[in-house]
Amino acid sequence: MTKNQKLLTWVEDMREMCQPDQLVWCDGSQAEYDALMDQMVASGAAVRLNPKLRPGSYLFRSHPSDVARVEDRTFIAAATKEEAGPNNNWADPVELRARLVELYTGCMRGRTMYVIPFVMGPLGSPFSLVGVELTDSPYVVVNMRHMTRMGTQALEELGDTGDFVPCLHSVGAPLEPGQEDVAWPCAPMEQKYIAHFPEDLSIWSYGSGYGGNALLGKKCLALRIASLKAREENWLAEHMLILGLTDPKGRKTWISAAFPSACGKTNLAMLVPTLPGYQVETVGDDIAWLRRGEDGSLRAVNPEAGFFGVAPGTSYQSNPSAMRTIETNTIFTNVALTDEGDVWWEGIGHDAPAHLIDWQGKDWHPGDERPAAHPNARFTVSASQCPVISPDWEKPEGVPISAILLGGRRPKTVPLVVEGRDFAHGVFLGSIMGSQITAAAISDKIGQVRRDPFAMLPFCGYSLSAYLQHWLDAREWIDADKLPRFFHVNWFRRDEAGRFLWPGFGDNVRVLEWVVKRVNGEVEAQDSPLGLLPHAKDINTQGLGEVDMDTLLALSKEEWLEEAASIRAYYEQLGGVPAELQALLEDMEKRLK
């Protein structure tokens, strides 16, 4: 047990408010995990998958309304609306706290409050942060065991006097005496709150059990709260994967990449190269904390310990390493169940069997119109199970980043790859990112393109305009000769008939090869209004068959003038951006004309 007084006092205060029947301090052991799983299988909250087919694995089905992040119910309760910025829902901290106290009072009646101490980042790393999540959801406990370093090891890291980020979570469904529980308790949409308080860096999440809303170490702590800390302390908390690419010369290049949710970060992080002699190792698939290393370089650490990946579309063809990672000891949420007790989803790489139980627990047959798995169905698994996890993934000092990729789903307009002219122009490319909205957040606009600077729109804990300045300021704390290079990529461009122009997946190594050559000064590029484009001949397409490289690299003047107008409008929507970025937009327009 801990002697940390701040922690003990806080737990006691929260217990008094939430009034759980019991309080349990989690130790993070396998025995604790197994006992919780047994309990959830017995209650009907979980299905144990066939141990011969999917050893140590479980399936959960959420309430049909609780399937994704809720951006409309996510709040930054900064002192002023301006600090939160137009990119966030702002709430007055005093009013929001009062509203939440009302909701949390007695909210854990009939349930157990679990205390989950956890570390984001490698144990013993100066880059790591400790959090403590209080939750009434055993599903959260078992997921946190994969996603973070939790339990006794985290309490040890915290020590008797250490500080931590307080993370309060409730599913918001108290049980009256004798009331039977449901498989997936949660609160109605208007009572869901994913609240962040910059003043004391605390998180209060109410009413949802879905990963991004409930596993508070992830989006809430490692991105929104961490971005606030990073701003104060001159570092960067980013929605980025981290990978190492070894080329045929045996050289290793560390690359991070910002893509919005459900745009293939997990696939790129674990890419199996189709070009001989290349090899990818994974450090992280969703979040990167970037700081100055002792050598003056930009060092990346993955604060997470697991993957919370999108299942649909994941197959032995698209991402064999992810498929191997989830062969055992995996939590599946909202995928379909086969009669043999295994999982199935759209795009798993083999046809659906004649009968399935769909993600809502209903019978499903091939030809049924609705999908068998929810499009945002997920797997949760420990990163250590990944066959291509990097030997350096828990290096306390992180890995030195030479290239940063930026991108999104853009069916038109955006070329396969374009390089920033310098650091500031790279930040400009990050600021103009856009992507089609995916099922990772509840939205009635799925498929529409929205601007999403650095893929941080849903995750930046303060105004994006100030965030972009913070990126520009990184030039002051990274050594000039170690500044990373920026590359804007788009795997998703389509032809007139709607077919993808680029094969993607393992063939993305062909773009990474060009990136590595650029970083090492081994290949020329050509300037364009958008930045430095490859010469078509320099992207290796050998063995690909017909690839329309001209269209993939094309910049349409008309489309880009329209794009520039939309970026200008977006900059205004943000309340203005740093003058340097505004000037780069004007420069781009001038070059286009």
List of residues contacting ligand OXD (CB under 6 A): 69, 212, 261, 286, 308, 440
Q: Which among Mn ion, ligand OXD, none contacts residue 69 (Cβ within 5 to 8 A by kind)?
A: ligand OXD
CB nearer to ligand OXD: pick between 285 and 419: 285
**Strands, E assignment, 211-320:** 236-238, 240-246, 252-258, 279-284, 288-292, 298-301, 306-310
Q: How far is the CB of 69 from ligand OXD (least distance, A)?
A: 5
Q: Is 285 in the site for Mn ion (CB under 5 A)?
A: no
DSSP per position, 69-126: B-GGGEEE--SSHHHH-TTSEE--HHHHHHHHHHHHTTTTTTSEEEEEEEEESSTT-T
Residue partners of 258: CB distance under 8 A and separation at least 6? 238, 239, 240, 404, 405, 406, 407, 430, 433, 454, 455, 456
Phi, psi of 74 (to 5 degrees): -105, 130
CB nearer to ligand OXD: pick between 2 and 321: 321
CB nearer to ligand OXD: pick between 270 and 501: 270
CB nearer to Mn ion: pick between 32 and 286: 286
- To which H or E segment does residue 552 belong? helix 549-552
Q: Is 286 in the site for Mn ion (CB under 5 A)?
A: yes
CB nearer to ligand OXD: pick between 73 and 518: 73
Residue partners of 48: CB distance under 8 A and separation at least 6? 37, 41, 57, 58, 341
Q: How far is the CB of 340 from Mn ion (least distance, A)?
A: 32
Q: Tell me how crowded residue 52 is: count the other CB atoms within 10 A of its CB.
A: 9
Q: How far is the CB of 286 from ligand OXD (least distance, A)?
A: 5
What is the Cα–Cα distance from 526 to 66, expressed in whole angstroms?
48
CB nearer to ligand OXD: pick between 285 and 507: 285
Q: How far is the CB of 86 from Mn ion (least distance, A)?
A: 22
What is the Cα–Cα distance from 537 to 236, expressed in whole angstroms?
36
Reduce the secondary structure of 79-91 to three states and give it as a string. CCHHHHCCCCEEC
Site stretch for Mn ion (CB under 5 A), options 253-261, 347-355, 522-530, 562-570: 253-261
Looking at residue 10, its amino acid is W
Q: How far is the CB of 573 from ligand OXD (least distance, A)?
A: 22
Contact 166, 128 (CB under 8 A): no
Q: What is the DSSP letter of 494?
A: B
Q: Which among Mn ion, ligand OXD, none contacts residue 266 (Cβ within 5 to 8 A by kind)?
A: none
Q: What is the DSSP letter of 484?
A: P
Residue partners of 227: CB distance under 8 A and separation at least 6? 237, 456, 459, 460, 461, 462, 467
Q: Is 247 in the site for Mn ion (CB under 5 A)?
A: no
What is the Cα–Cα distance from 137 to 169, expressed in whole angstroms?
8
**Strands, E assignment, 247-353:** 252-258, 279-284, 288-292, 298-301, 306-310, 331-333, 336-338, 343-344
Q: How far is the CB of 288 from ligand OXD (least distance, A)?
A: 13
Q: Is 513 in the site for Mn ion (CB under 5 A)?
A: no
Q: Which among ligand OXD, Mn ion, none contacts residue 440 (Cβ within 5 to 8 A by kind)?
A: ligand OXD
Q: How far is the CB of 184 from Mn ion (least distance, A)?
A: 22
Q: Is 261 in the site for Mn ion (CB under 5 A)?
A: yes
Q: How far is CA 256 from CA 91, 266, 269, 362, 534, in A?
A: 33, 12, 9, 40, 20
CB nearer to ligand OXD: pick between 61 and 69: 69
- CB-hemisphere CA count at 13 Å for 1? 6
Which residues in the 477-506 window bind Mn ion by CB under 5 A?
none
Number of chain residues interacting with Mn ion (CB under 5 A): 2
Angle between helices 579-592 and 423-431 (to 10 degrees): 80
Annotated catalytic sites, by residue?
263
CB nearer to Mn ion: pick between 247 and 286: 286
Q: How far is the CB of 467 from ligand OXD (least distance, A)?
A: 17
- To which H or E segment does residue 16 belong? helix 5-18
Q: How far is the CB of 459 from Mn ion (least distance, A)?
A: 8
Nearest partner of 63 among 138, 171, 165, judged by Cα: 171
CB nearer to ligand OXD: pick between 243 and 416: 243
CB nearer to ligand OXD: pick between 239 and 291: 239
The three-class DSSP label of residue 514 is helix
Kind of pairing, strands 279-284 and 378-382? unpaired
Q: How far is the CB of 583 from Mn ion (least distance, A)?
A: 31
Residue nearest to ligand OXD (CB): 261
What is the Cα–Cα distance from 252 to 87, expressed in whole angstroms?
37
Degrees, nearest 5: CA angle 294-295-298: 90
Q: Which among ligand OXD, Mn ion, none contacts residue 308 (Cβ within 5 to 8 A by kind)?
A: ligand OXD
Site residues for Mn ion per CB under 5 A:
261, 286
